[in-house]
Structure 1
Amino acid sequence: MKHLLRNVAVTLTALFVGTAAHADEDRYITVASTTSTEASGLFEHIVPMFREETGIDVRVVAVGTGQAFEIGRRGDADIVLVHDTTGEEEFVTNGYGRERRDIMYNDFILVGPSEDPAALRESDSALDAFSRIAEAEHPFTSRGDDSGTNRAELRLWEEAGVDPSGQWYRELGSGMGETLNTAAGMDAYTYVDRATWIAFDNRQNLELVYEGDPVMFNQYGSLPLSQERHPDLKHDMAEEWHQWLLSDEGQAAIASYELRGEQLFFPNAE
Structure 2
Amino acid sequence: MLLRNLTCALVLTGLLAVPAQAETLMMATTTSTQDSGLLEYLNPAFTQETGLELKWVAVGTGKALEIAKNCDADVLLVHAPAAEMKFVADGYGIDRRQVMYNDFVLVGPAADPAKVSGKTTAEALKAIAGAKAPFVSRGDESGTHKAEKALWKANNLSPDKESFYISAGQGMMATLNMAAEKKGYALTDRGTWIKFANKQGKNNPLRIVVEGDKALFNQYSVITVNPERCPRLKKAAAKTFEDWWVKPETQKRIADYTLEGKQLFFPNADAK
When normalised by structure 2's length, the TM-score is 0.90
Unaligned runs of 5+ in 2: none
Please give the alpha-carbon distance, in whole angstroms, between the structure 1 residues aligned to 2:45 and 2:249: 9
Q: 1:141 — aligned with what?
A: 136
Q: 1:45 — aligned with what?
A: 41
Q: 2:193 — aligned with what?
A: 197
1:1-270 equivalences under 5 Å are 23-24=20-21, 26-123=22-119, 125-164=120-159, 165-200=161-196, 201-202=199-200, 204-270=204-270
After TM superposition, give the deviation of residue 17 of structure 1 in Å: 7.6
- Amino acid in structure 1 at the alignment position of 2:156: G
Query: Structure 1, residues 20-46: CA drift from partner, whole Å, max 9, x if none?
Result: 66x41x422111000000000001111
After TM superposition, give the deviation of residue 247 of structure 1 in Å: 0.8
Please give the alpha-carbon distance, in whole angstroms, between the structure 2 residues aligned to 1:78 and 1:148: 19
**2:102–2:264 Cα contact (<8 Å) kept:** yes
Q: What's the C-alpha RMSD, in Å, of the aligned pairs?
A: 2.3
After TM superposition, give the deviation of residue 177 of structure 1 in Å: 0.7
Please give the alpha-carbon distance, in whole angstroms, between the structure 2 residues aligned to 1:156 and 1:105: 18
After TM superposition, give the deviation of residue 161 of structure 1 in Å: 1.2
Please give the alpha-carbon distance, in whole angstroms, between the structure 1 residues aligned to 2:249 and 2:234: 22
Please give the secondary structure, in 1, of the residue aligned with 2:204. coil
- Amino acid in structure 1 at the alignment position of 2:232: D
Query: Structure 1, residues 87-139: CA drift from partner, whole Å, max 9, x if none?
Result: 1111111111112111100000000001111111141x211111110000000
Please give the secondary structure, in 2, of the residue aligned with 1:212. coil
Runs of 4+ in 1 over 3 A off after TM superposition: 15-18
Please give the secondary structure, in 2, of the residue aligned with 1:100. strand
When normalised by structure 1's length, the TM-score is 0.91
CA 1:122–1:246: 2 relative to 1, 3 Å: closer
Q: Aligned pair count? A: 263
**2:25–2:55 Cα contact (<8 Å) kept:** yes
Identity across matched positions, percent: 44
Query: Structure 1, residues 141-190: CA drift from partner, whole Å, max 9, x if none?
Result: 00000000000000011111111032210011111011000001111100
Please give the alpha-carbon distance, in whole angstroms, between the structure 2 residues aligned to 1:248 and 1:216: 26
After TM superposition, give the deviation of residue 205 of structure 1 in Å: 1.1
* More divergent stretch after superposition (103-112 vs 201-210): 201-210
Please give the secondary structure, in 2, of the residue aligned with 1:157. helix
After TM superposition, give the deviation of residue 79 of structure 1 in Å: 0.2
Please give the alpha-carbon distance, in whole angstroms, between the structure 2 residues aligned to 1:252 and 1:197: 22
Please give the secondary structure, in 1, of the residue aligned with 2:28. strand
